[in-house]
Amino acid sequence: MKKWFGKIIVLAILVLVALPGYALAERQHPRPKPAPTPTTTPQPAPTPTTVTKDEALLITLINQQRAKHHLAPVKLNTCLMDASRAHSAEMAAKTYFTHNSRNGESFFRRLQRYGYKRTGYHLWMVGEDIAWGTGLLSSPVAIVDSWMKSPPHRAVILTPQFREIGVGTALATKTWKKLSNVTFFTLDMGRRK
């Protein structure tokens, strides 16, 4: 009993504390799923998302970390992927670093805008890690290593409930903090059921 109580307290603290580069959001409601609308026309198959070499490596490294901790792998979700890519691109183009978009939109609102909706699910849970690096510190290996050494970032990656992932990387065209060739990274994870 004490073991579970401690985990609940830690989880509650993680949900309430928002540190730079890390964020979690959760919504749980006993909401019934809407009945599917009958359709006579066949629906097109989802378009497969092409991932870059760095994006594929990020996903592989995240799943390796989850496997080390006996957690289920996460699978690519196109909505999370689109949101992650857009956020990294915006941070790179406008040279800022925060979870909120430049216009003040929160990361969980961004995820919904890109199609990772809450509607129809009784559990909607998301988390985000962001990072930036230059030179050797801008590789996916270096970024995942730094996330795993940071307790709040590690908590997002190792959240047992997550099943879906999106990642995005973008190279800044301007200098940022007097540095050039800065790459911005966004990792979005989620679960809906």
Tens of pLDDT, residue by residue, the chain (193 residues)? 444 433 333 333 333 233 334 455 554 444 444 444 444 444 344 455 799 999 999 999 999 999 999 999 999 999 999 999 999 999 999 999 999 999 999 999 999 999 999 999 999 999 999 999 999 999 999 999 999 999 999 999 999 999 999 999 999 989 989 999 999 999 999 999 9
Q: What confidence score (pLDDT) does residue 13 get?
A: 30
Alpha carbons 162 and 59: distance in angstroms, whole number: 13
Q: What confidence score (pLDDT) does residue 176 get?
A: 85
> How many CB atoms are closer than 10 A to CB 19?
13
Q: Please work out, in degrees rounded to the nearest 5, the angle formed at the alpha carbon of residue 169 by the alpha carbons of 95 and 79.
A: 110
pTM above 0.85, yes or no: no
Q: What confidence score (pLDDT) does residue 14 get?
A: 33
Q: What confidence score (pLDDT) does residue 33 get?
A: 46
Q: What confidence score (pLDDT) does residue 165 get?
A: 98
Alpha carbons 123 and 112: distance in angstroms, whole number: 14
Q: What confidence score (pLDDT) does residue 73 get?
A: 98
- Token reading at 40: 């006579």
Question: What letter would DSSP give residue 139?
Answer: S
Strands (E), the chain: 22-28, 75-76, 123-134, 164-171, 182-192
Q: What confidence score (pLDDT) does residue 126 get?
A: 97
Q: What confidence score (pLDDT) does residue 162 get?
A: 98
Hey, CA dihedral for 148, 151, 153, 154, is it positive or negative? positive
Q: What confidence score (pLDDT) does residue 183 get?
A: 96
Q: Which residues pair with 133 in a beta bridge?
A: 183
- Token reading at 81: 């992927």
Q: Is 38 helix (H, G, I), strand (E, B) or coil?
A: coil
CA-based radius of gyration for the chain? 17
